[in-house]
Amino acid sequence: MAASNQSQPTSTSAEATYTLPDLGVDSAEISEWLVKEGDTVTAEQPLVLVESDKASVEVPAPVSGKIVKFLVNAGDTVANGQDFIVIASQSATQQPLASDPSEQAASQANSATNQNEPPAQTVSTPQSSTPAGKQTFGLPDLGVESAQISEWMVKVGDEVTAEQPLLLVESDKASVEVPSPVAGKVAELLVNAGDTVTNGQDFVVIEAAGSVQSASSSASQPQATTNTTQPEVANTQNTASTSTNSATTTASQSSSESKLSEAQINAKNAAVYAGPAVRKLTRQLGVDVSEVTGTGANGRIVKEDVFAYVKNTIKAVSTPTAANKVSAPSAARSGLPNLPDMSKTEIWGEIERQDLTRLQKVSIPQLNYNTYLPQVTQFDLADITDVEKLRGDLKDEMKKEGVSLTILAFIMKVTAYALMQHPKFNSHLSDDNTQIIIRKSVNLGFAVATEDGLTVPVIQRVEQKGIKQLAIEIGELAKKARDKKLSAKELTGASFTISSQGNLGGTYFTPLVNWPQVAILGVSESSIQPRWNETKGEFEPRLMLPLSLSYDHRVINGADAAVFTRYIAKLLADPRRVLL
């Protein structure tokens, strides 16, 4: 019996604990698990989404097998090399259960022959495909599908410290400094200035002191000390076992039908060629990534493909004659017909073609969404005489501290307060047009004019911040925008936008709602105007600020828009109301 027991695999003989690979940062947060305990996964299938301030990274399965246990939960802060999952992988040393006495006897005899051999054990020692001490590192998630290497800040042979900037990468939206993931010596530069690169692409080899671990995403694969049989062999053995035990297999298939279906869905999504940022966007928008057609290189799905899919879905729903199946367009178009042929100079005269800036090009698909929004604009005036006097009293003191106190800081504060009182304006419309998704915090985007066009950085949780803190962050983000150094995180997540024209002139304008937001506040140049003072019985000069609120009429009606705009005007006239 002892020999027989040794020959039969136990439920833990193939279980192994796996550690997180090098994420490129010291610590990160578990954003969400993409699978659940009990699922069957394949090698390299995404398991969990890990997010840091710099990137979102999908950690793949190191082996094929069944998930036994999660060792970390969504929301946990984790570090490189930390145990995060237990997987029961397919073991080539497992013997199939004998279906008749003769096969069982043979199995027992074979087990008795090997009973003195130590059982196969799995260990979490990392493999390395690079020379000892050298590690190859991939680029983090840059927030865009591709970017250009602007310049290297180090050279081969330089000693670097962890988090020291290595190179500057520029995209249409921002310039990002990529830091060193470890301390060590730069051994090789894998990309050159001017190259176009993508997320995860290998870019540098660093010789880290005392380290032999590879920085690849599968660095934490376990190695069996006595078993060198490949997974394909194990699969063949398991297939033979299945054919021998058809009755048992049929019963198990019935009990695991739902799990198999879910595993197939996960496998289908895992096979889609899309990066972490795109997958996260599809989850936020409720889009099945496998339904989106990729227009990038080799069929890769880019963010514009997701937006185009949503746009065409909206069009299909709103047009009764549209086909049920929506296909992604080959290019971002506004729906307008092609331009006429302007080659005939006798008709059109001389023409000159000028390329749009990169920022203008990437903004066009977003602006095209306004075609599908029933947008209305509400106008009002705010008396900011008193708040401007308060700003004048404070600005010199703050200037000594290096803080530029603009009227925008006050506008942001009262707008955030107004949004908390009128949450419908701080929401999104669901894809099926049956619900509004209300944001519990106010993340305000504000337009900044740059040489390449308008950029909209985002300040998080404005409702929790004071005027001074807002003034500091406005100044910092505006400078980053002009220097093209905004990170992907600083450009996303807005729930409402403010577009201020400052002292550029004009009275009112119609700002465009930034989908999927449902409203935007436009602010024009203030001017001295006569206002009737009932107490004094005379006109007096007051500093008046024009307000223009554009809104999605599917979510907000005209009466609510008028009340909301007037509420902001009252708060600006007397910001002490915010303290009540």
Name the average pLDDT for the chain.
76
Comparing 118 with 445, which gets the higher pLDDT?
445
Mean per-residue pLDDT, 400-409: 91
For residue 5, give every residue at least 6 positions away whose Cβ sits within 8 Å of its Cβ, in sequence order, or none: none
Q: Which two tokens stand for residue 173?
A: 């939206």
The least confident of 61-70, 97-106, 347-356, 459-468 is 97-106
pLDDT in tens, 33-77: 889 999 998 888 889 888 776 566 788 888 888 999 999 998 888
Maximal C-alpha separation, the chain:
112
Q: Please give the model's pTM, rounded to 2 decimal places.
A: 0.47
Mean per-residue pLDDT, 318-340: 53
The least confident of 14-28, 83-97, 130-144, 389-403 is 83-97
- Is residue 220 over pLDDT 70? no
CA distance 175 to 186: 22
- Is residue 559 over pLDDT 60? yes
CA distance 304 to 369: 12
Distance linking the first and last C-alpha atoms of the chain: 80
Comparing 189 with 91, which gets the higher pLDDT?
189
pLDDT of res. 53? 61
CA distance 377 to 433: 21
pLDDT of res. 351? 81
Nearest residue to 142 via CA among 31, 297, 303? 303
Percent of the chain with pLDDT over 70: 71
CA distance 177 to 219: 25
CA distance 383 to 569: 7
Comparing 216 with 461, which gets the higher pLDDT?
461
Angle at 401 (CA atoms; ends 396, 404), nearest 5 degrees: 60
- Is residue 383 over pLDDT 60? yes
Catalytic residue IDs: 553
The letter for the amino acid at 494 is: A
- Is residue 300 over pLDDT 90? no
- Is residue 388 over pLDDT 50? yes
CA distance 468 to 475: 11
Mean per-residue pLDDT, 514-532: 91
pLDDT of res. 363? 74
- Is residue 189 over pLDDT 90? yes
Whether 497 and 517 have beta carbons less than 8 Å apart is answered as yes
CA distance 304 to 148: 19
